[in-house]
Amino acid sequence: QLSSDFYATSCPTALSTIKSAVKSAVSKERRMGASLLRLHFHDCFVNGCDASVLLDDTSSFTGEKSAAANVNSLRGFDVIDDIKSQLETACPGTVSCADILAVAARDSVVALGGSSWTVGLGRRDSTTASKDAATNDIPSPQLDLSDLISAFSNKGFTTKEMVVLSGAHTTGQAKCQFFRGRIYNETNIDSDFATSAQSNCPSTDGDSNLSPLDVTTNVLFDNAYFKNLVNKKGLLHSDQQLFSGGSTDSQVTAYSTSSSTFCTDFANAMVKMGNLSPLTGSSGQIRTNCRKVN
């Protein structure tokens, strides 16, 4: 239903505008590529890819930004606002915030050296958002393998797709509060890696201190995340669950030795993520400001 040439006549500069804004944001700060990719994930997993994640709280609803997984954690809203205002000037009322998120996620992966894919377009924007929906649908880093599998299968993804999508943690940062339990209490962890992670994440302090999700190539979109897992150097509990004696070990090993398989499978899974229940036709709206309903 989505189509890659949706804006070909209504806004021919849409894709190039997004690409150059993402490129410049990522060259200013590499982490922004990670942050923009994560925004699209957190959008699509909660009521589909409808830019619900971008809405600020209002008097009629508490939005997703207030959910525990998102608060003080999601970033990149200013980059999206900047792209939106450029596109409102070029083609008013035409390009949805949900499509901007989908294209910015792809362009971020490319800017960090990862694979590319064709983004279907034509999503429209929601007129509401729900904190509770985000709380229910965004997986927690404390989950065990079976619960990670369920969280993704609830959204129509196979176990294999869950594993490849987790490869997004080849880039970006996480706060101490999300991995403290792992680096102090778990045994399936490389001891040098644990010691060095502890130095920046005290046992009773420093909740928001950051560590790279990929200890080897944090600003490159590559398969090093899977090599780390094989070496017991996953940062989050949920990361190491993918290689901890369970059914997904063999797939992690396969990605750790084949970056091309990882890249292809990741691209296909991202296309599938981008297709999660979009609003199309006359449903929803094209927001003028991504943070507010028109």
39 counts as binding ligand HEM under rule CB under 6 A: no
Which residues, numbered 105-164, are part of the site for ligand HEM (CB under 6 A)?
139-141, 148
- Give 211's strand partners: 174
* CB nearer to ligand HEM: pick between 86 and 142: 142
The pair of structure tokens assigned to 231 is 């070496």
Among 35, 96, 130, 170, binds Ca ion (CB under 5 A): 170
CB of 156 to Ca ion, least distance (A): 15
**The dihedral sign for the CA sequence 173, 177, 183, 188:** negative
Pick the catalytic residue: 42, 131, 180, 233? Answer: 42
Among 80, 165, 252, 276, binds ligand HEM (CB under 6 A): 165
| Residue 75 site contact among ligand HEM, Ca ion, none (CB < 5 to 8 Å, cut-off depends on kind) | ligand HEM
Pick the stretch among 6-14, 30-38, 51-59, 87-95 that binds ligand HEM (CB under 6 A): 30-38
73 counts as binding ligand HEM under rule CB under 6 A: yes
Nearest to 115 by CA among 277, 269, 11, 275: 269
- In the chain, count H helices and then E strands: 13, 2
Which residues, numbered 40-59, are part of the site for ligand HEM (CB under 6 A)?
41
What is the per-residue binding string for Ca ion in 45-84, x denoting contact by CB under 5 A? -xx--x-x--------------------------------
- What's the CA gap between 200 and 235, in Å, rounded? 13
- What's the CA gap between 47 and 129, in Å, rounded? 9
Residue with tokens 């910015």: 104
| Residue 131 site contact among Ca ion, ligand HEM, none (CB < 5 to 8 Å, cut-off depends on kind) | none
Residue 50 annotated as lining a ligand binding site = yes
237 flagged as catalytic: no
- What's the CA gap between 71 and 13, in Å, rounded? 33
| Residue 178 site contact among ligand HEM, Ca ion, none (CB < 5 to 8 Å, cut-off depends on kind) | ligand HEM
Say if residues 255 and 165 touch (Cβ distance below 8 Å): no
Say if residues 156 and 276 touch (Cβ distance below 8 Å): yes
The pair of structure tokens assigned to 264 is 């292809």
210 counts as binding Ca ion under rule CB under 5 A: no
Is residue 281 helix, strand or coil?
A: coil
- What's the CA gap between 43 and 41, in Å, rounded? 5
Binding annotation for substrate: 139
Note the residues at the interface with ligand HEM (CB under 6 A): 31, 34-35, 37-38, 41, 73, 75, 139-141, 148, 165-166, 168-169, 171-175, 178, 213, 236, 238
